[in-house]
Structure 1
Amino acid sequence: MELNLFVSTFALIFVAELPDKTAFAALLLATSHHPLAVFTGAAVAFVIQSFVAVAFGSLFSLLPPMLIHISAGILFLVFAIMMWCKNESGGEDVFSNQQAKKVRFSKSVTSTFMTIFIAEWGDLTQLATATLAAKYHAPITIFCSATLALWAVTAIAVIVGYKAKHLIPPNLLQRVAATAFALVGVGLLLKH
């Protein structure tokens, strides 16, 4: 691996991802889901997205942006509704406590994966990864560096979201998160 290319790719992707909707989504999801589940779902989505970006290089930019934004916007709105309507009461007599935790964990991984996977299509960081892969012809270096940068931002977002969960009353946090998801969804739909 070329160290300079690795470091410069990492820095570029890290800085570009910090204010991004997917980092924001990871932060919000960590306020209501297990932090490891959120990180796991996002990490898997980013591995696939980075692989696609590196594999297809500059061809990736041919995807229709309007379709991507509409799909991501709808997904964010669906999650906003689900979060707004979420009932925090326990009462899971059907499963043992351990089984219920496993089901919740896997649902959290799946919902995070879907949110990040769809929202990341056509994203600036994915396009940057594709462009760097096409330009430098160093797919392994670009893939590893971009993926690690995305994971680093996700880890920061998950930690901030998890800490917020313990500082802000759960009902208020749930409403704020649902509203934020709705705003991102509407913003994505209005973008095109």
Structure 2
Amino acid sequence: MEALLVSTGIVALAEIGDKTQLLAFMLAARYRRPGIIILAILLATTLNHGLAGAIGTWLPALMDPAIMRWVLGIGFLVMAIWIMIPDKLDDTEATHTRFGVFGTTFVTFFIAEMGDKTQIATVALAAQYHAFFSVVIGTTLGMMIANVPAVIFGEKIADRVPTRLVHTVAACVFAVLGIYTLLEGTALLGL
């Protein structure tokens, strides 16, 4: 249950102001088909985070647990810093109109998530918790918590969300996870 809750919370916070949330705003304004856009976001995120969760579940088998703790701890600290860097949406990311509303949303969301903070977080959380389904469900739920209101309410709420504060809270959560993981790694090494 902890993996599900932590994954949901971290990704929901990290997604505020992220390029995929900006993409959701843009697609909603362009197509005005919220149901189709939300379904495409859900499926693209589930597939993307499923792949990331599989990698995160597989990684611990490749290295010593003590080394893995250090990698994860440092990774969480890097995420804490990275989340404070604002995302900008590239204007070319949603130009695949030949695919229709569903196809455009699915393709652009899937591609936009490749190497994104939330995808990297999914890998790290799956490696940390060894709970593929809980992490993937949690990170996907976190994406939906952040993006469904963006699709439904669009720019009406964009100016009312204190993005900097939300990112600061998410960065603090990542930092705490990183420090905790590093301290746990130190204890395993007997330091």
- TM-score in terms of structure 2 length: 0.59
CA contact (8 A) 2:53 2:135 kept: yes
CA contact (8 A) 1:35 1:162 kept: no
One-letter code aligned to 1:110: G
Counterparts of 1:106-121 in structure 2 under 5 Å?
Answer: 107-121=100-114
Tell me which residue corresponds to 2:20. 22
What SS does structure 1 have at the residue aligned with 2:13?
helix
CA contact (8 A) 2:7 2:139 kept: yes
Unaligned runs of 5+ in 1: 60-72, 84-103, 165-192
* Residue in structure 2 matching 1:137, options 127, 130, 136: 130
Report the Cα distance in structure 2 between the residues aligned to 1:122 and 1:32, rounded to whole angstroms.
25
One-letter code aligned to 1:117: F
Report the Cα distance in structure 2 between the residues aligned to 1:18 and 1:6, rounded to whole angstroms.
19
Report the Cα distance in structure 1 between the residues aligned to 2:36 and 2:110, rounded to whole angstroms.
15
Relative to 1, partners in 2 of residues 1:134 and 1:36: Cα closer, same or farther, differing over 3 Å? same
Runs of 4+ in 1 over 4 A off after TM superposition: none
Tell me which residue corresponds to 2:71. none
Offset at 1:18?
1.0
Report the Cα distance in structure 1 between the residues aligned to 2:50 and 2:144, rounded to whole angstroms.
14
Report the Cα distance in structure 1 between the residues aligned to 2:138 and 2:155, rounded to whole angstroms.
26
Report the Cα distance in structure 2 between the residues aligned to 1:55 and 1:35, rounded to whole angstroms.
30
Over residues 52-84 of structure 1, what are the superposed CA-to-partner deviations in whole Å (9 max), with x where a residue is unaligned? 11011176xxxxxxxxxxxxx9x842646x78x
Over residues 68-111 of structure 1, what are the superposed CA-to-partner deviations in whole Å (9 max), with x where a residue is unaligned? xxxxx9x842646x78xxxxxxxxxxxxxxxxxxxx9x710100
Is 1:55 aligned to 2:54, yes or no? yes
Counterparts of 1:35-54 in structure 2 under 5 Å?
Answer: 35-54=34-53
Tell me which residue corresponds to 2:146. 153
What SS does structure 2 have at the residue aligned with 1:32?
helix
How many residue pairs were aligned? 127
> What is the CA RMSD across the aligned residues, in angstroms?
2.8
CA contact (8 A) 2:28 2:34 kept: yes
Taking only the aligned residue pairs, the percentage that are identical comes to: 33
Unaligned runs of 5+ in 2: 60-87, 158-191
What SS does structure 2 have at the residue aligned with 1:31?
helix
